[in-house]
Amino acid sequence: EVQLLESGGGLVQPGGSLRLSCAASGLTFSTYAMNWVRQAPGKGLEWVSGISGSGAITFFADSVKGRFTISRDNSKSTLYLQMNSLRAEDTAVYYCAKAVLDFFGVVKIDYYYMDVWGTGTTVTVSS
């Protein structure tokens, strides 16, 4: 069974930094692209960032571009989200979610929808 466990959330002041981690188990981690998705209190889902299995390709929502960095350590089966210059509007539950892999013949294709989700870690940006 694939499991994802986020950690690293907490209370941080505006302008501060935080690094989230997501430990994965039950899968060959390096095979799969991964995502971060967040949900502000009482609001809907917002896709934040995605990264390919190798880590070579990354994607960001405009709302976090230039402030957040996504990375992964495949030897540790761990995904990271480095969040800098945090704002009040970054307050949310942050979910780690696995993307889907498929093949077109021998060509590997990553589809950035999410078939496995973690339970989330809460980030609060407040003074």
Give the footprint of another protein on this chain (CB under 8 A).
35, 37, 44-47, 50, 59-62, 95, 100, 111-115, 117-120
CB closer to another protein, 16 vs 26: 26
Classify residue 4 as left (phi > 0), alpha (psi -120 to 50) or beta: beta
CB closer to another protein, 48 vs 83: 48
Other residues' Cβ atoms within 10 Å of the Cβ of residue 44? 6
CB of 113 to another protein, least distance (A): 4
Of the candidates 11, 3, 55, 60, the residue with the CA atom closest to the CA atom of residue 36: 60
Q: Are 53 and 100 in contact (CB under 8 A)?
A: no
CB closer to another protein, 104 vs 127: 104
CB closer to another protein, 48 vs 125: 48
Q: What is the distance between the alpha carbons of residues 89 and 55, in angstroms, rounded to a whole number?
A: 27
DSSP string, 64-86: TTTTEEEEEETTTTEEEEEE-S-
